[in-house]
């Protein structure tokens, strides 16, 4: 009985520092963890990982790349065209933290001319969310949008309640009316 009580008290005193002593991990990696950031458009998105305490430094990995960082608190920032995503993450010894940027999809408008002006408004609020040429693919938060395409020499083409879904490219075809 005394041995059990002694063991419980010893475990309580050691507490949080015991988890850093992973007996399987090599000693050199016990003070480090890993971060992987997945983004909607890995070819064009920019990732920055900064230490909150200042001791871990700043890293600029490519989306999907695994980086080795000292244990601690980090701020992950992702720049996607007109949008930014920020999340804080705690890195534990020998663990990998996966960050997945949620809630963004893409919109591609196929119009008669690549230079046709596309205006995207939020279907609920009517607020303009983006304006871009039809030649671009635009990253947007998940939701319903109204799309208006200005075609020279013709009336504007309008598509209402177009649903942009997470991690998907919604393609809208526009033709002359």
Confidence class for position 23, pLDDT limits 50, 70, 90:
low
Domains and CATH numbers, the chain: 29-100 (2.60.40.1120), 104-173 (2.60.40)
pLDDT above 60 for 9: no
pLDDT tens, 102-155? 778 899 999 989 999 999 999 999 999 999 999 999 989 889 999 999 998 888
User: What's the confidence (pLDDT) of residue 18?
Assistant: 45
38-44, Cβ contacts within 8 angstroms, sequence gap of 24 or more: 38/63, 38/64, 38/98, 38/99, 38/100, 38/101, 39/63, 39/78, 39/80, 39/101, 40/80, 40/101, 40/104, 40/105, 40/106, 40/139, 40/167, 41/80, 41/106, 41/139, 44/80, 44/81
Q: What's the pLDDT at 42?
A: 82
pTM beyond 0.85: the answer is: no
In tens, the pLDDT along 53-107 reads: 766 789 999 999 999 999 889 999 999 887 889 999 999 888 899 998 877 889 9
User: Can you give the pLDDT at residue 4?
Assistant: 60
């Amino acid at each position: 009985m005394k041995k059990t009580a002694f063991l419980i008290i010893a475990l309580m005193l050691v507490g949080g520092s015991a988890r850093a002593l992973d007996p399987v991990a090599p000693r050199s990696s016990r003070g480090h963890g890993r971060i992987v950031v997945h983004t909607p458009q890995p070819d064009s998105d920019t990732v920055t990982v900064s230490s909150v305490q200042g001791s871990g430094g700043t890293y600029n990995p490519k989306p999907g790349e695994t980086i080795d960082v000292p244990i601690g608190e980090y701020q992950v920032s992702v720049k996607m065209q007109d949008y930014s995503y920020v999340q804080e993450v705690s890195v534990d010894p020998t663990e990998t933290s996966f960050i997945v940027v949620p809630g963004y999809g893409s919109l591609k408008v196929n119009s008669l001319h690549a230079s046709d002006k596309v205006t995207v408004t939020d279907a609920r609020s009517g607020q303009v969310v983006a304006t871009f040429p039809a030649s671009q693919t635009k990253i947007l938060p998940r939701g319903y949008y109204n799309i208006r395409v200005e075609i020279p020499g013709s009336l504007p083409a309008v598509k209402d309640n177009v649903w942009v879904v997470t991690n998907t490219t919604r393609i809208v075809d526009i033709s002359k009316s």
